[in-house]
Structure 1
Amino acid sequence: MTWTEPATWYANLASFYAAAAAFITDAAGNVLLVKPTYRDHWAFPGGYVEEGEYPHAACAREIREEFGISLTVGNLLVVDWAPPAGVRPRAIISFTFDCGSLTSLDGVELPGQELEDIAFFAYHEAEQRLPDNVAPRVHAAMRARDRQVPLYLVGGFPAPLP
């Protein structure tokens, strides 16, 4: 085995995108989703992790940017590894954090250029509004919150661990 310069070795490693999402419910257990202006489907509040940013910090930043409020980012609930798909040339790892409950949406200010709507949905309705590969995160996040143990998904499905 030959020695490889660290810069060369790192440059040849696989790379992936990272995203952070907030799992927020109301007192009845309904799930908060947002409707981006640039997509046909609803989404969890959140977005991509920026260079040099920790996923939990990205989650907090996205909540501030999207809602104009600060929420405590709690426990990691779900990690979902999705392989490259469609026009996305790299895998994406999505971190979903427990951001607690909101009693109302008073004080939430949507950035009109990015989000057109925000609402709480019953569990099954939330799943129907999300893309098929994201919908399983609703049930996984609820389970992880109840058990206080994060769940690992692969493309939206429980990962077969050895």
Structure 2
Amino acid sequence: MTADALLRDPDGRLLLVKPTYKPGWDLPGGMAESNEAPTDAVRRELREELGLDVTLYALLCIDWVPPHGPWDDLMAFVFDAGQLSWDTCATLRPHDEELAECAFFPEDQALSLLRDRQRRRAEQALAALGESIPRYLQNGQPLWNPGRTPAQEQQPTVRTEPEGGAR
């Protein structure tokens, strides 16, 4: 299980971290330890890696990731950890050897720096943040339109032209 956080600066830029043990950028957070709740895991990871003690405001998404490479399937959680103050942002730095750097990026640039699966998850987490509706994903993809109610999902599709084409 993994647990990550969306953290923003006062300008709304997203915090990304660059791990030392794999290429590219990630959302801050990481793997849960045995029998550790996702909320505890993300708080621990942020404390260990960035020296941050955060409040979690909401669950944004849960993503079931199928087995890939040498790894089994996993559940990936993303939480809203709010906005950091300018003072905190100015002094933010990696606190252990697992991170090479951390930086804030405008949303579009941050998403472009993430690997495909994590980018899809982050896009869905950002959408959930704006709508206040958590998302359930499979491999970064939503299974249904999260902005529609069950009644709307059962509405018949309205055809705009007769079957068989225009007459």
- Structure 2-normalised TM-score? 0.80
Structure 1 unaligned residues grouped into runs of 5+? 1-17
Report the alpha carbon displacement of residue 111 of structure 1 after superposing the two structures with TM. Answer: 2.6
1:52 and 2:11 matched: no
- Pairwise CA distance, 1:19: 0.5
1:36 match: 19
Q: What is aligned with 1:153?
A: 137
Give 1:160 deviation, angstroms. Answer: 4.0
Secondary structure at 2:121 match in 1? helix
Per-residue CA distance 1:10-67 (angstroms, 9 max, x = gap): xxxxxxxx11001111222211100001111100111111112110011111110011
- SS at 1:152's partner residue? strand
Matched, 1:117 2:101: yes
Match of 2:118 in 1: 134
Q: 3-state DSSP class of the match of 2:80?
A: strand
Query: Compared with structure 1, are the counterparts of its residues 138 and 106 closer, same or farther at alpha carbon in structure 2 (3 Å cutoff)?
Result: same
After TM superposition, the score normalised by the length of structure 1 is: 0.82
AA partner of residue 84 (structure 1): P
CA distance in 1, matches of 2:58, 2:106: 22
Aligned residue identity for 1:68: G
Name the amino acid aligned to 1:42. W
Query: Any gaps of 5 or more consecutive residues in structure 2?
Result: 146-152, 154-167
The alignment yields a C-alpha RMSD, in angstroms, of 1.7
Q: Distance in 2 between matches of 1:91 and 1:22?
A: 20
Distance 1:81 1:144 in 2: 17
* Structure index of larger Rg: 2
Amino acid in structure 2 at the alignment position of 1:140: Q
Identity of aligned residues (%): 38
